[in-house]
Structure 1
Amino acid sequence: MGLDIYVGSLTRYFAGDWQTVAAQAAAAEGIEFTTVRPGEVPVADTPEAIWERVAQWQAAMGAALGFDGLWADDPDAPYATDQPHWLGYGALLVLAAQIEHPDLADEADSPQDFAASRAFEAAKQGGSELFPSLIGGAEWWLPIDGIAATFTGTSVDGATIGMGTLDLLAAELGMLRERLGVDGTALTQALLTGGPLEEPGLNGDRVTYLREWGVFGLAVFLELTTQARRMSLPLLLDY
């Protein structure tokens, strides 16, 4: 199961009118590729019907948050996507947790099993003050200007989802970048090269391995968060 980040309208997302980077690569090579998303609205629904469902959902969400209207969810709006991989996402969470709980940082912390990190467990259980949406398990970030908050809501398809705002995500990523001392050159290089190809052995440099995957995950999240804020459209984790 892969992990992708999608930026675009919810109507396009739930209509399945988009392709992951893996699907795009397969199409370019003429390879048949099938993506299965358990939360997708049935394809029997027309784009118009899905748009109406999204509009109803937006109205309910806006009322709950005290807003008269949210973003324009145009089904024809452009979308952006990339794949941080689970290792990039896991490393990002571990590094954030280590910043919040440096006394619990462990050289054995692994992006493969971020939940096993004592720092992550402490941040998760105690309620992260520095990275509430990332460590708190948010999967959707919404373009609601002027609010930096997390909340739990019911998505368009009825699933319960941890959510946050794009402003909050941008602040968390900016703090993570600053605390890690990652400059623009490192972010660009990470986007070009991706994460490390090989996991270090028992006596290998696991700290560098974790950081390199974390920088890659950070680069992907920063790039797509910037695009989401520019387009004023949601950012979702897709897996």
Structure 2
Amino acid sequence: MGLDIYAGTLTRYYSHNWKTITQQLSEENGQDYKQVDENGNEIKPVDDIGEIEQIRDVICQWSDGLASNIDASMKTPLWDEKRESEYFTDKPDWEAFGALVMLQACRLLNRPVPEYVENGWDAFDEPVVKEAMSQIRDCSLLSEVTLWLPIPKDIIFTTTLPSGNEASISTLTVLKNELEVLNQKMWKADVATILSWRNEKYYVPIKSKKPKLILGFIRGKNHAQKEKYSTEELAQCAYSMLYQATCFGVPLLLDY
């Protein structure tokens, strides 16, 4: 499955009252686009106001429970679920997000960053990423975090989500700091430059790995050419998306 990011209220997210960037672009071009779940069933937005309020109540109770578990002195609500502000969404997909994770792993372990990655690669299968994840405990990008909350705390923890699934959670404070340090160590880019990295050109293949021929036959099981992309440029594109998402000061999720 592909990877999208979403920044907005959890009520909007769980009631499916948001559209991925792919949905938005499809509708702008007059194309029909339907979201489906892992079983192939169409995901439809919740229209009933009463049901939306029930979802909001569940989210608020869940966040209050988090507050008491994190720090009994924390003021609640931790963020405003009742203000239906605009949301932010984009689609780094796993290749670009994985490139960012790879870049972080290589930097923290002082290893060279691979120049290219191939289409369909999985960063979490890479030895350097596995090593970093096993050694570094205070980095949300290397802790399989799927939700960052607008809480002024430097924490990473595992808990049960409102959906009932268990997940690793951190805070926007942690992610913002990780992104800032990474930028200072790697690029020292200003805001205008960071925003410019959100560019489709980074998804254009750099090279193609042609299959080897022996006596006129393709060698190996994979007969298709492997498209290759610049690791750093993909990482910068994902960086730009996450950077923009953190500026909204609302929950940030990985949606897949």
What TM-score, normalized to structure 1?
0.86
Corresponding residue for 2:125?
116
Matched residues in 1 for 2:180 and 2:37: separation? 30
Secondary structure class of the residue paired with 2:122? helix
Corresponding residue for 1:177?
183
Secondary structure class of the residue paired with 2:35? coil
Given the alignment of the two structures, is residue 57 of structure 1 paired with residue 65 of structure 2, yes or no? no
The Cα of 1:118 is off from its aligned counterpart by 2.3
Moved more, 63-72 or 8-17: 63-72
Whether the aligned pair in 2 keeps the contact of 1:91 and 1:110 (CA below 8 Å) is: no
Q: Extract unaligned runs of 5+ from structure 1.
A: none
Corresponding residue for 1:32?
32
Corresponding residue for 2:171?
165
Corresponding residue for 2:160?
154
Change (3 A) 1:220 1:139: same
Q: Which has the larger radius of gyration?
A: 2
Secondary structure class of the residue paired with 1:25? helix
Change (3 A) 1:128 1:181: farther
The Cα of 1:35 is off from its aligned counterpart by 1.4
Whether the aligned pair in 2 keeps the contact of 1:12 and 1:18 (CA below 8 Å) is: yes
Secondary structure class of the residue paired with 2:144? coil
Whether the aligned pair in 1 keeps the contact of 2:4 and 2:20 (CA below 8 Å) is: yes
Whether the aligned pair in 1 keeps the contact of 2:176 and 2:246 (CA below 8 Å) is: yes
The Cα of 1:196 is off from its aligned counterpart by 3.2
The Cα of 1:220 is off from its aligned counterpart by 0.8
Secondary structure class of the residue paired with 1:46? helix
Secondary structure class of the residue paired with 1:13? helix
Which among 100, 103, 114 is matched to residue 108 of structure 2? 100
Corresponding residue for 1:21?
21
Corresponding residue for 1:88?
96
Secondary structure class of the residue paired with 1:191? coil
What TM-score, normalized to structure 2?
0.80
The Cα RMSD (Å) is 2.7
Secondary structure class of the residue paired with 1:32? coil
Structure with a larger share of its residues in strand: 2
Matched residues in 1 for 2:127 and 2:115: separation? 11
Change (3 A) 1:27 1:41: closer
Q: Extract unaligned runs of 5+ from structure 2.
A: 211-225
The Cα of 1:98 is off from its aligned counterpart by 0.4
The Cα of 1:226 is off from its aligned counterpart by 1.4
Change (3 A) 1:14 1:151: same
Whether the aligned pair in 1 keeps the contact of 2:5 and 2:254 (CA below 8 Å) is: yes
Structure with a larger share of its residues in helix: 1
Secondary structure class of the residue paired with 2:238? helix
Matched residues in 1 for 2:146 and 2:171: separation? 11
Secondary structure class of the residue paired with 2:159? strand
Given the alignment of the two structures, is residue 214 of structure 1 paired with residue 235 of structure 2, yes or no? yes
Moved more, 28-37 or 133-142: 28-37
Change (3 A) 1:28 1:201: closer
